[in-house]
């Protein structure tokens, strides 16, 4: 029996609710979080539909990305484009109008290129549609592909979106959260997730009072950063959403010459 059937909130319910709560709390992030909340609702619908369908069998060891059938999500493209045009930021709304002017075949090709690792413009649309599909597959096919490095998702090979510090004993254990399939995997606390720098003096941290459970984890060797959500400080945090809400930390990092290891779905 599912957690929803037992009366408990699903992970999708938590994400949608958290986006609404943080939109009310942080005026500067209200617009982007209100839009993100609607995107999460659409992703939930995609996840629910895919999880209710029979899944095609695949050979053992087939990489997760090769299991992503773009036809499973392509029909949601017009819905996502309409949502972006109506409620998205101006830049994204403009991109949605550009994509809407293309053919269905072109839109499917965008999805295929994203699956293959292409990171050209309009990545938001492909990532938004494929993320719930990839998350579903990651839960169903836990086998790890060969050759994945410690800083790369062991399920789909994507880069981490952010770090998560989860309570364990008297402290916390660090995990990385995949930017595509949302898998979490354990990762050393004092280690750059981009270049592997181990010298803590070259790994500065920064946080802000209004986001005391979120911090920038930067590296003075490669000059990349990611954000870490500390669940030992705020047990109600939803890492995927809290990372989007903490925009001031991204501004601080950019002002100090750091580049984000992987932009979030909203482009920050």
pLDDT digits (tens, 9 = 90+) for 40-89: 999 999 999 999 987 666 555 678 888 899 999 999 999 999 999 999 99
Query: Do residues 207 and 114 both lie within one domain?
Result: no
The reply to whether 104 falls in a domain is yes
The reply to whether 148 falls in a domain is no
Query: Do residues 131 and 175 both lie within one domain?
Result: no
What residue numbers bound the domain in which 124 lies?
A: 11-140
The answer to whether 176 touches 160, Cβ cutoff 8 Å, is: yes
Question: Each residue of 175-220: pLDDT tens digit?
Answer: 999 999 999 999 999 999 999 999 999 999 999 989 999 999 999 9
Average pLDDT score over residue span 16-20:
98
On the question of pLDDT at 170 being above 90, the answer is: no
From the list 212, 256, 208, 209, the residue with the least C-alpha distance to 230 is 212
Query: Do residues 133 and 175 both lie within one domain?
Result: no
Please compute, for residue 78, the number of CA atoms within 13 A of its CA located in the half-sphere on the CB side.
Answer: 4
pTM: 0.91
Using the 3D structure, point to which of 87, 110, 140 is the last residue of a domain.
140
The reply to whether 6 falls in a domain is no
Domain total for the chain? 2
């Amino acid at each position: 029996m599912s957690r929803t059937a037992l009366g408990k909130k699903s992970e999708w319910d938590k994400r949608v609710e958290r986006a609404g709560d943080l939109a009310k709390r942080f005026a500067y992030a209200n617009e982007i979080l209100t839009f993100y909340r609607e995107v999460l609702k659409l992703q939930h619908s995609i996840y629910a539909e895919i999880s209710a369908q029979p899944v095609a069998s695949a050979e053992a060891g087939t990489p997760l990305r090769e299991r992503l059938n773009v036809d499973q999500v392509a029909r949601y493209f017009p819905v996502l484009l309409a949502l972006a045009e109506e409620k998205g930021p101006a830049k994204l709304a403009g991109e949605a109008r550009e994509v809407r002017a293309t053919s269905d075949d072109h839109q499917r090709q965008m999805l295929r290129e994203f699956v293959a690792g292409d990171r050209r413009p309009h990545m938001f649309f492909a990532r938004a549609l494929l993320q719930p599909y990839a998350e579903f597959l990651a839960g169903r096919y836990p086998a790890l592909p060969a050759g994945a490095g410690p800083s790369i998702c062991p399920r789909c090979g994507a880069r981490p979106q952010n770090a998560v510090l989860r309570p364990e004993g008297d402290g916390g254990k660090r995990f990385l959260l995949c930017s595509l399939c949302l898998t979490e995997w354990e990762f050393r606390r004092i280690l750059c997730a981009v270049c592997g720098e181990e010298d803590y003096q070259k790994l500065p941290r920064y946080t802000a009072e209004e986001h005391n459970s979120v911090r920038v984890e930067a590296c003075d060797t490669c000059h990349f950063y990611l954000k870490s959500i500390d669940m030992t400080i705020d047990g109600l945090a939803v890492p995927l959403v809290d990372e989007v809400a903490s925009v001031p930390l991204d501004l601080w990092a950019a002002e100090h010459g750091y580049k984000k290891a992987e932009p979030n779905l909203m482009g920050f």
